[in-house]
């Protein structure tokens, strides 16, 4: 017997995949190498807990699929691309039709030895067609964007000739913050504006870049992070302020993708004459290049003046101060959505803490809670939702260990 041996793939970039190559090497004339690669396949499958067919399906889903992405951008009208996807899948179907017993039988015949004592793996069934992978790419992306939803940006990735720009520069966040919008208390009007704007993006309607401004600890960053748990098809890329120069490269890559993206810049501020200030202004509005319709920039700041003045310039002329104000306004005006978060008053602060405690099932007397959270805020130097959460964290830990309240 012979093993099906794929000549190459065109729609799915898996020609250099470790698992696929191990399968190809089963047909080698060298017995030790052939058996070694069979055992490698068994080990990978046993560690994954998946069948042979399901593992290969995941390889396809998490591969780069530039032809499928082009097919989606062309409104699914390119028959040649569809045929290319079918060509790849026909090869995959033939591979998945082979069981571990078939492979052992092939090895026995090839090397005239008994290999019946080799371990086996579950074969599974591959019943996925071109439409399945096209629809999956449309809804969930492909490659690294299908496997993960949150990323940080790597400005200086190690060189790898076979990796795409996104694979090279996006560093997956395997365990993104699990915070939900329902975990955040008060500020309902502010959050609704952000959620509605993000919903416009997801539904391919005109949406605005957003600047969340306000006091420390009021939930600006948490609101943005919670969007990932509200919108499953959303992807988020966090840029540091010193990485803003990469925005136009990201734009050119992300606009090819059927998914929707938020580029998140936390704690935004600039020194005077900083190059990234100009880059961000152009990225928001002002460049000859159009902004991708599937990408928004969400930024947070707790600074009234995003541009930090030096001591010398602070004492400078009226003209300089006027220019500084104009620069600040020229940036913030480019955010179509400006949302303000201010520190809560005493009553709101206590209510935020009580609602968080209630969500966690912490039983407490209201008057005792009020007194305790106020003492806590006094020690911390102010009231904010963050400090209210920290107090509830303290109460929860205290109760779980049976420590008496002080």
Given this model, what pLDDT does residue 299 score? 94
**What pLDDT sits at residue 331?**
77
Among residues 313, 207, 326, 330, the alpha carbon closest in space to that of 278 is found at 330
Residue-wise pLDDT tens digits, 197-254:
999 999 999 999 999 999 999 999 999 999 999 999 999 999 998 899 999 999 999 9
Phi, psi dihedral angles at 106 (to 5 degrees): -60, -45
Name the token pair of 119.
Answer: 């371990």
Q: What is the distance between the alpha carbons of residues 2 and 103, in angstroms, rounded to a whole number? A: 9
Residues of the chain where predicted confidence (pLDDT) is lower than 50: 309-312, 318-325
The CATH number of 181-341 is 3.40.50.300
Q: Are 301 and 267 in contact (CB under 8 A)?
A: yes
pTM, full prediction: 0.86
Q: What CA dihedral angle connects 288, 292, 295 and 299, to 10 degrees? A: 10
Q: How far apart are CA 162 and CA 189, in angstroms?
A: 47
| pLDDT score of 189 | 96
Return the pLDDT at 324.
46
Residue with tokens 């997801």: 202
Predicted pLDDT of residue 312:
46
pLDDT at 334: 86
Structural domain boundaries in the chain: 18-143, 181-341, 346-400
Q: What angle do CA 102, 106, 109 make, to 5 degrees?
A: 140
Residue with tokens 């919670």: 226
Q: What is the pLDDT of residue 76?
A: 87
pLDDT recorded at residue 332: 77
Q: What tokens appear for 236 in the block?
A: 């988020």
Cα–Cα distance for residue pair 260/141, rounded to 1 Å: 10
Residues 6+ apart with CB under 8 A from 181: 191, 195, 223, 226, 227, 229, 230
Q: What is the DSSP letter of 25?
A: G
């Amino acid at each position: 017997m012979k093993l099906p041996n794929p000549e190459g793939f065109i729609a799915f970039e898996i020609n250099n995949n470790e698992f696929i190559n191990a399968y190809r090497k089963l047909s080698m004339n060298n017995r030790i190498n052939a058996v070694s690669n069979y055992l490698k396949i068994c080990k990978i499958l046993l560690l994954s807990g998946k069948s042979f067919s399901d593992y290969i399906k995941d390889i396809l889903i998490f591969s780069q699929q530039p032809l499928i992405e082009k097919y989606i951008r062309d409104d699914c009208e390119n028959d040649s691309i569809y045929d290319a996807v079918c060509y790849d899948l026909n090869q995959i179907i033939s591979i998945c039709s082979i069981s571990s017993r078939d492979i052992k039988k092939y090895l026995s015949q090839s090397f005239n030895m008994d290999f019946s004592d080799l371990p086996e793996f579950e074969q599974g069934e591959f019943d996925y067609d071109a439409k399945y992978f096209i629809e999956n790419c449309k809804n969930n992306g492909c490659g690294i964007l299908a496997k993960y939803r949150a990323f940080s940006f790597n400005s200086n990735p190690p060189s790898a000739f076979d990796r795409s720009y996104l694979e090279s520069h996006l560093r997956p966040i395997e365990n993104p913050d699990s915070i939900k919008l329902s975990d955040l208390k008060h500020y309902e009007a502010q959050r609704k504006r952000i959620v509605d704007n993000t919903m416009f993006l997801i539904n391919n309607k005109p949406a605005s870049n957003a600047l969340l401004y306000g006091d420390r600890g009021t939930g600006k960053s948490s609101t943005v992070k919670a969007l990932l748990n509200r919108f499953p098809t959303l992807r988020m890329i966090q840029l540091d302020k010193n990485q803003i120069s990469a925005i136009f490269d990201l734009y050119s890559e992300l606009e090819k993708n059927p998914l929707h993206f938020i580029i998140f810049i936390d704690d935004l501020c600039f020194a005077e004459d900083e190059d990234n200030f100009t880059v961000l202004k152009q990225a928001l509005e002002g460049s000859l290049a159009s902004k991708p319709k599937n990408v928004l920039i969400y930024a947070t700041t707790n600074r009234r003046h995003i541009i930090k003045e030096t001591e010398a310039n602070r004492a400078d002329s009226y003209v300089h101060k006027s220019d500084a104000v104009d620069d600040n306004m020229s940036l913030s005006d480019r955010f179509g959505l400006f949302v303000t978060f201010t520190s809560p008053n005493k009553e709101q602060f206590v209510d935020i803490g009580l609602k968080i405690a209630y969500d966690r099932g912490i039983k407490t007397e209201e008057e005792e809670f009020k007194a305790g959270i106020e003492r806590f805020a006094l020690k911390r130097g102010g009231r904010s939702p963050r400090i209210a959460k920290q107090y509830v964290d303290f109460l929860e830990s205290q109760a779980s260990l049976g420590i008496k309240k002080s």
